[in-house]
Structure 1
């Protein structure tokens, strides 16, 4: 019975490949990286992390990311469970920007704005598997995608690579890079994983303790855009996680009452590859430390999950998972006061993430 949805998914994917002019011979599959009792499942549809299995303090194994069981469900997912999003992740106000005197309009898929690269961003395309080593000391997979000039309204051809690799002890590294080939273009990737260290579908994450290496944030307006262009200190606000604090401690006071939950961009202290966040679930004993080389990070608490069907017959509800999305500043392409996300021909964008698990 489980084969039918996958077969349907593959037919749909072949049709998408043909319609987009992609190589119809590209296959969509599920790839497992395994090192001892540590395993990660990835599909080359959207470079999506489908599962991450790690032990708890008693040695019990659990999948700690929210997601879907089948490729058909991954294809139809609207919650962004685990994909790599781009060409420009997060929001672009009105889907519009000016680059070198030319106005560009990108696909609007978030009301009046664009988000995560448009309705067919990098999370909704077939990536080519360049290399795959399932086991050994450092199992890894490298995926490739050629984003074409004009795709979703963005200028220029872009060569994109993403490598997922396991190492000891319980470390997953994600290394991405993109080279602009012939035109200047904005680039900003993020990995949209929803975490629940108690195990996906185990309840809410409000009791998880979070610490962020972020003393500043960008205030957002009602459309979750940094329209003011300001950067303000977290000190004295409900957004302050500089010391370990339960995610749910102030969750009902955030966002000015506009919504219940966090969906906020933090400015990460320091530069280069450094620690961004540390999370721990007291019940399971599992911990997660995230390091990255990007200037900012979006913290999201699954505010819009509502009776969402997930893996293994589980149902995800509000606060059933949280996201730590390292990134550039949102809408940076329309804010010259923010660090630039423009990559010019021959230049290479690099975004590296390291997830270290403990128990």
Structure 2
């Protein structure tokens, strides 16, 4: 089993360090190491590669930085939107709302505080806890527990200790995220958490922005999307399930039960304060099951998502506007889409929803499998 080396650069002069970072990010193999924001842990970029299929991950926020695979003609492209590292540091890697394991409670929770079995957790954003606010998991430097960059099933496992009171949530939690490649063109994302000493809500998610034509190739309105979801959670203007209502998608712009272009009814969709999708769907069935199939006709690339979570949030990058991305690309509205599987939104404030609260010693398990084809 081949282990992967890391190049240390944190003692180099700033200009030389910057040039080397940008150069190494273009290389096929290896990992880049920079000094950690907390002065203790290193920040790295780690590549997993299997033939002409590769991904890059950073332990800053456990972020999925890129997914490179061929199209129907064999042309390689990166299908994940992102941001080039800033000139002097690796601490700004992606658009501010893009991460795979956002926080203990990845989606908004209503109110200035919420409770987990009478244990109050004070939250830090005005009105709700979008991705939990405050010291988000995405701003934390995760520990690399294992890293195997090649072989039949390359993988990386990252660990974060969330202390009692972090982001205002009660109790300490051990959190692990594993990214693993397998054949053919399959990426597994496995998120696990254990509550150590107090009851606390946990609802991890992946917030990767996809464009199967290649990041920066334009909008995704022509992508077709099929969702294995016949119901949706009714969200208010703040994108919260304040009414607790679940309604059928039939006869609405949210009906993707058969493959439908994302742009076909997007003008009738309400994604908060702008036009676009930002909707939560109840996935049909239970356990590990199909969630969505997205396809780009121009490139021939398709993404099939399986997961074991109750809901999926579909978002169409409604707020991107002349946003500078990686490789000199510019992202505008609808430049990507997300498929964020998770438990019920704001379950801590809705006893009618399945609970997302872990008891001490209880384990949370979130598995996603993304199968690419072309």
Shift of 1:107: 1.4
Tell me the TM-score normalized by structure 1.
Answer: 0.93
Q: Do the aligned partners of residues 141 and 10 (structure 1) sit closer, same or farther apart at CA in structure 2, a change above 3 Å counting?
A: closer
Q: Quick one: distance in 2 between partners of 1:258 and 1:346?
A: 40
| 1:344 corresponds to 2:365 | no
Out of 152, 161, 181, the residue aligned to residue 196 of structure 2 is 181
The aligned residue for residue 263 of structure 1 is 278
Q: Do the aligned partners of residues 57 and 271 (structure 1) sit closer, same or farther apart at CA in structure 2, a change above 3 Å counting?
A: same
- Describe the SS at the equivalent of 1:145: strand
The aligned residue for residue 116 of structure 1 is 131
| 1:326 corresponds to 2:341 | yes
- Describe the SS at the equivalent of 1:116: helix
The aligned residue for residue 38 of structure 2 is 17
Q: Do the aligned partners of residues 10 and 34 (structure 1) sit closer, same or farther apart at CA in structure 2, a change above 3 Å counting?
A: closer
| 1:100 corresponds to 2:100 | no
Greater percentage in helix: 1
Q: Quick one: distance in 1 between partners of 2:206 and 2:351?
A: 25
Out of 135, 143, 149, the residue aligned to residue 150 of structure 2 is 135
Out of 17, 34, 40, the residue aligned to residue 3 of structure 1 is 17
| 1:225 corresponds to 2:225 | no
The aligned residue for residue 21 of structure 1 is none
1:252-306 Cα shifts (integer Å, max 9, x gaps): 0112885210001100000000000000000000000000000001000000001
| 1:160 corresponds to 2:175 | yes
Shift of 1:3: 3.5
Q: Do the aligned partners of residues 5 and 267 (structure 1) sit closer, same or farther apart at CA in structure 2, a change above 3 Å counting?
A: farther
Residue pair 2:163, 2:172 contacting (<8 A) in 1 also: yes
Out of 299, 302, 314, the residue aligned to residue 299 of structure 1 is 314
Q: Quick one: distance in 1 between partners of 2:236 and 2:19?
A: 40
Q: Quick one: distance in 1 between partners of 2:16 and 2:359?
A: 46
| 1:309 corresponds to 2:330 | no
The aligned residue for residue 98 of structure 2 is 81
Shift of 1:217: 0.4
Shift of 1:98: 1.9
Shift of 1:341: 0.1
Q: Quick one: distance in 2 between partners of 1:226 and 1:46?
A: 27
| 1:64 corresponds to 2:79 | yes
Q: Quick one: distance in 1 between partners of 2:16 and 2:189?
A: 30
Out of 194, 199, 212, the residue aligned to residue 197 of structure 1 is 212
Tell me the TM-score normalized by structure 2.
Answer: 0.89
Q: Kindly report the root-mean-square deviation, in angstroms, between the aligned alpha carbons of the 2 structures.
A: 2.0
Residue pair 1:68, 1:74 contacting (<8 A) in 2 also: no
Q: Do the aligned partners of residues 225 and 6 (structure 1) sit closer, same or farther apart at CA in structure 2, a change above 3 Å counting?
A: farther
Q: Quick one: distance in 2 between partners of 1:219 and 1:6?
A: 49
1:307-350 Cα shifts (integer Å, max 9, x gaps): 11101000000000000000111111101111100000111000
Shift of 1:118: 1.4
Shift of 1:153: 0.5
Q: Which runs of 5+ in 1 are unaligned?
A: 19-23
Q: Quick one: distance in 2 between partners of 1:44 and 1:256?
A: 31
Shift of 1:114: 1.1
Residue pair 2:85, 2:93 contacting (<8 A) in 1 also: no
Q: Quick one: distance in 1 between partners of 2:141 and 2:128?
A: 25
Deviates more, 1:44-53 or 1:250-259: 250-259
- Describe the SS at the equivalent of 2:275: coil
The aligned residue for residue 239 of structure 1 is 254
Q: Quick one: distance in 1 between partners of 2:94 and 2:74?
A: 32
Q: Which runs of 5+ in 2 are unaligned?
A: 1-14, 22-31
Q: How many residues align?
A: 349
| 1:37 corresponds to 2:58 | no
Residue pair 2:274, 2:319 contacting (<8 A) in 1 also: no
Shift of 1:74: 5.4
Q: Do the aligned partners of residues 5 and 75 (structure 1) sit closer, same or farther apart at CA in structure 2, a change above 3 Å counting?
A: farther
